[in-house]
Structures are given as C-alpha cells and as structure tokens.
Amino acid sequence: MAFDVEKIRADFPALSLTVHGKPLVFLDSAASAQKPLCVLDALYRQYQTEYANVHRGMYELSEKATTNFEQARRKVRNFIHAASDKEIIFTRGATDSINLVAYTWGAANLKAGDEIILSQAEHHSNIVPWQILRDRIGFTIKVVPVDDKGDFVFEDYLKLLSDKTKLVAVAHVSNVLGTIFPVKEIIHAAHQAGAVVLLDGCQAATHLPLDMQDLDCDFYAFSGHKLYGPTGIGILYGKKALLDNMPPFEGGGDMIKSVSFEKSVWAEPPARFEAGTPPIMQAIGLGHAIDYVSQIGRTEIDAYERTLCRRLQSEVEQVGGMRLIGSSENKTAVVSFVPDFAHPQDIAMVLDQEGVAVRTGHHCAQPLHERFGVSVSVRASLGIYNTEGDIETFIQALHKAKRFFS
C-alpha cells in the first residue's frame, strides 16, 4: 500500500497534543513510541469485556483470553518469520529477554577461559548482564570497535573470533548511531567459529523487515513499547533446539509439568520461561501493534524512514556547530549530535519550549559515548508518524537554541 503519513498520524492521539502552546513534534521514538488507536482500543476492550487469566480456565472468558494471548504469540512468530510458536517467549521487555539468555543459556554453557564478543555500540542491557555473569564464572569479554562513522569494524571482529568464542551478542541497529550492523555476516562468521549469536533487535524490529530463518541467529530480543505497543512486554526468540536444553529463568506457576516437595519437572518451551501470570494484556496489545505495522508494510516503512533520516541528518549538519555521532551510510531513524555552543540538556529544554521532544544523555550507551570522546548527546529519533514538517520545526527550534546560546 502507498505510505500515507497523514493518515498514519491521524491514528495516534498523542500527536494532536500541544506542549507549551505549540503542536507536539515527537522525536523520541527510539526511547518509546506513541501508540495508535487500534492498540489503545484493543487494550480497553480486553480489560472491559474479555479479561481473565489465561491457560487452564474452563470458562468462556478465560478461553477467549487464552485464544487472544496465543494468537499474539503467533503474530509475533509471523512478524519475525520464526519456525515455530514455541520459539517465541513473552518477557517483560528486551532487557528481561537478554538477562534470560545470560542466566539460562549463559550460566549453563559458559565457563572460565571462554570468550564472548560484544560491540562498542551496545546498550547497557547487552553489557551489564554479561559482566555480572563474567564476574561469577570468569570468562572474558572482548569488544569490537566502531569506526569514526559508527560502522562495525568487521575486520577487527574476525580477528577476535577464535575457538574460545562461545557467544557473540551485538545490536542489530545502534540506538545512538542508527547504524545497521552487517548482522548476516556477523552471524555466519560466528557460526563458523562455533559460537552462538544473540541480537539486540530493539531498534531494528520497529524499522526493518525481519526473518529469523534467513538471519539464522540463535537468539533475538526486542521490546513492545518501541514497536507502537504497550510497555511491560518483550520478546525473546530462540531456536527451539537451544530452548529445549535451557534451564528455566524463574520458578513459579505455569512453567512446570509437575511439582512435588521432592522434585519439579519443567514444562516445554515457551511455558518453561514464562513463570507466573504472564503479561496478558500487553502481549495482546503488542499483537495489535504488529497488525498495524504489518498493514502499512515494513518495506514501505523502512524506505520512508531512511529517506526522512537522511533529510534530518543533512539539516542538522547545516545548522553548524554540530558534531554528528554516527554518520554511517547504512543507518536509519536516529540522528545523534553534540552542539559546540551549549550543553545537550540546555538544548533539549529550549526545544521543549517549541514543542519538540528529543532525548539527551548517554542513552544507556556510555562506552560508545566514551569512544567518541563525549559524555552526552542529543538524539532525535523517528517513527512512522514523523514528517518533513516535523524536521522543519525541529531545525527552526535548533536555530533558535543556537541564537539563544551564542
């Protein structure tokens, strides 16, 4: 279908808000995206007329909720082209998904003397769990650098791979740089070395078509709230052969076949990793968000957002006094920069007075900022609802900030 951004914008109630008397220009979707009416309406309807706990309830409301919940799992499977519903685990978020892998697969398979590989661009959620586990077990973390443009240095990556490498865990798309890493090549090289691969797909799932069977990664994590769905829901995709041999992450209800005081027997995946009452409404809401994005078309979304991102980056450069953090030719949806005339937080405050919402800070990527010699940056990030007009308003506000502080 044709990409009609004005029609899309009409689906998002938040975009009609005013801030300080100015129309809202929302450029913080990389942190969390706004929600379309179809998701909000579905959540309201579910809570109002179709709410019950799922699984085992032998009454109509529970059966309906269970059907909707498991349909959401199937929607996720189709969205990322996984081989089976059993490869889709509902979690509390992408951070939870990565921690699940660390403390199940990682704790069971990593040992002292092993090595894992991360990239310099990782979000803290794909650094800290591995550090905690390293300090318990004694393996080594090696880091692939990014170059001055923010591209993954593939040659250095190949040099780091060895028979000691047991895991490669990298972002699909950097949340600061916007760089799309060469993940198929990363995965292929890792598998040749005998390593397992986890991709942090938080920024990719929102913007790019995904195919787990084509990528051939072993684990893939992403969150619902960046994908126009609710907070409190994340996805972990894992190859069934790996999930079948992983111990549970948490103990409780619904993740067991049987329990006695002498012994408990675990359920098959995905139930094994979904202890307790699951995020029922959040999963159903995510399913509706996936329906919405799929109807628009991810190829169309990708093309539109890349074009808009190039325009945004070019306009920021033309303001002057801006140092871009990430200028790869293969990037999407994110433009980060550091002004030389004011602190990023001061810039954001001026932009807010003009109705423009951006993010400042290290964006949970301190090592990456250190690599570029800065502590914080301004990040403007795009969603399917942003327009050329949003960019114009943002640039005008940026000029105003420059005049104010110069």
Report d(CA 171, CA 156) in Å as an integer: 16
Structure tokens at 402: 């420059």
> Which amino acid makes up residue 146?
V
Q: Checking DSSP bridges between strand 18-19 and strand 22-23, what pairing results, if any?
A: antiparallel
DSSP letter assigned to residue 102: I
Helix boundaries (H) for 279-365: 280-296, 298-319, 344-353
Taking alpha carbons only, the member of 184, 147, 180, 149 closest to residue 168 is: 184
**Buried/exposed code over 151-160 (b: 16+ C-beta within 10 A; e: otherwise):** bbeeeebeeb
Q: Does the annotation count 364 as an active-site position?
A: yes
Q: CA angle, corner 49, sides to 45 and 50, nearest 5?
A: 90
Report d(CA 195, CA 211) in Å as an integer: 20
Burial of 359 (0-12, 13-18, 19+ CB in 10 A): buried
Taking alpha carbons only, the member of 91, 158, 83 closest to residue 125 is: 91
Residue 45: half-sphere exposure toward Cβ, Cα within 13 Å? 12
Q: Which of 38, 202, 309, 364 is catalytic?
A: 364
Other C-beta atoms within 10 Å of 99: how many?
Answer: 23
Q: Are 192 and 215 in contact (CB under 8 A)?
A: no
User: Is there a cis peptide before residue 270, judged by omega within 30 degrees of 0?
Assistant: yes
Report d(CA 277, CA 14) in Å as an integer: 30
DSSP letter assigned to residue 17: -
DSSP letter assigned to residue 331: B
Which residues participate in catalysis according to the annotation?
Answer: 364
